[in-house]
Amino acid sequence: MTNDTKQKVREFYDEIGWQQEEGGLYQNARYDDLRPVVKEYVHNTRMRVKRGVEPTGKFMLDAGSGPVQYDEYLTYSQGYQKRVCFDISIQALREARKRIGDHGLFVVGDIANLPFKPNAFDGIVSMHTIHHLPSTEHKRAYLELFRVLNVGKKAAIVNGWTNPALVGWLDKLIVFSHRLRRFLRGKPLRAQPHDKKGTYVKKTNARWLRNEIGQEIPFEIVAWRSASTLTMRTLIHERFGGQAILRWLYQMEEKYPKFFGENGQYPLIILKK
Ligand SMILES: C[S@@+](CC[C@H](N)C(=O)[O-])C[C@H]1O[C@@H](n2cnc3c(N)ncnc32)[C@H](O)[C@@H]1O
């Protein structure tokens, strides 16, 4: 079951996720909100990752790098000699190589079984990747990242929580109202299969993380981005002061990072060795 799941995830990213669509965007960019009204908030939240890694070092590991798709991601490894892009998808690494060239080293593999020696990396980032593993392997992936992190250094991990207190109910309400509208218009309740391409995702929550790895790894949970893509797309609009709302939200996340990290959609989990 485990290898089957991983194989399906790999095939998805090789054949769909990291293929470019019209407009030069990857299919995977569908899961992001790319509208101008959210641009500043999204940019600022991506830059938060830098707080979870040392600015300089020899090797930085990007575990589940994809193609290093956004400009902000490039800044994480600016002060490093090499960025080791590691991914289960060879297509991801082909694209990453085009993007960062000589600055990169490119390794295909599984985040739950890292082929690196202990303490090999002065910095680690891993974004939106552990949730593609079967739940039985999430802990192992955290332990693996910790194992290969150098002593005295930090790793920055971003993943979505399942059903987070702040937005989980809102997302459910939004999905329900979309379905109700479709029903009232006589359309099928769900979008057509070709609109719903995706792959296996299994998310956890802050309690799970503390219970599973709290005894073994020192870490803190702070806010990365507490608004989900669905919530932003539905509620944030230029004409309703969307940018001002997101500026306020960002300030709140800055003021109460632990609360928004544990209860918002996406935490930044910082491992310290
Ligand atoms: C949602 S994408 C995120 C890519 C990039 N980190 C970002 O934030 O844009 C998830 C990436 O994780 C990779 N991935 C999924 N399962 C993996 C595994 N078991 N080991 C390594 N990489 C994996 C996928 O191939 C994909 O490139």
Binned at pLDDT 50, 70 and 90, residue 46 comes out as: very high
CB-ligand 1 contact for 263 (6 Å cutoff): no
* pLDDT top residue among 183 and 256: 256
Using the predicted structure, report yes or no on whether residue 193 has a pLDDT greater than 90.
Answer: no
CB contact set of 94 (below 8 Å; sequence gap of 6+): none
Mutate to test the pocket of ligand 1, among 32, 68, 88 (most ligand atoms within 8 A of CB): 88
Summarize the confidence of residues 1-24 as an average pLDDT: 87
Q: Across the chain, where does the E strand assignment appear?
A: 56-63, 79-87, 104-108, 121-127, 149-158, 219-225, 266-272
Q: Is the CB of 92 under 6 A from ligand 1?
A: yes
* pLDDT score, position 190: 61
Tell me the pTM: 0.93
Ligand 1: which residue has its CA nearest to atom 17?
88
Q: What is the pLDDT of residues 145-191, one digit of tens each?
A: 999 999 999 999 999 998 888 876 666 666 666 666 666 667 665 65
Mean of the per-residue pLDDT values for the chain? 91
Which amino acid, 129? T
| Confidence at residue 182, expressed as pLDDT on a 0 to 100 scale | 63
Residue 234: pLDDT over 80? yes
The pLDDT tens digits for 208-231 are: 999 999 999 999 999 999 999 989
Residue with tokens 């739950």: 112
Asked if residue 135 lies in contact with residue 202, where contact means CB atoms within 8 angstroms, the answer is yes
Is the CB of 144 inside a 6 Å radius of any atom of ligand 1?
no
Q: Average the pLDDT over 250-264 and give the result.
A: 97
pLDDT tens, position by position, 112-137: 999 999 999 999 999 999 999 998 99
At 13, which helix (H) or strand (E)? none
User: What contacts 234, CB < 8 A, 6 or more positions away?
Assistant: 174
Domains of the chain: 2-26+33-172+191-272 (3.40.50.150)
Report the side by side order of strands in the sheet with 79-87.
Answer: 104-108, 79-87, 56-63, 121-127, 149-158, 266-272, 219-225
Q: For residues 92 and 69, what is the distance between their CA atoms, to the nearest angstrom? A: 10
pLDDT (0 to 100) of residue 165:
82
Q: What is the mean pLDDT of residues 89-105?
A: 97
Structure confidence at residue 130 (pLDDT): 97
Q: What is the average pLDDT across 103-110?
A: 98
Q: Does the C-beta of 110 come closer than 6 Å to ligand 1?
A: yes
Question: How many angstroms separate the alpha carbon of residue 155 from the centre of ligand 1?
Answer: 16
Where b means 16+ CB within 10 Å and e means fewer, 55-85 reads eebebbbbbbbbbbbbebbeebbeebebbbb
pLDDT of residue 194: 44
- Measured in Å, residue 32 CA sits from the centre of ligand 1 at 15
Residue 195: the pLDDT is 47
Distance (angstroms) between ligand 1 centre and the Cα of 65 equals 6
**Ligand 1 atom at shortest distance from the alpha carbon of 14:** 25
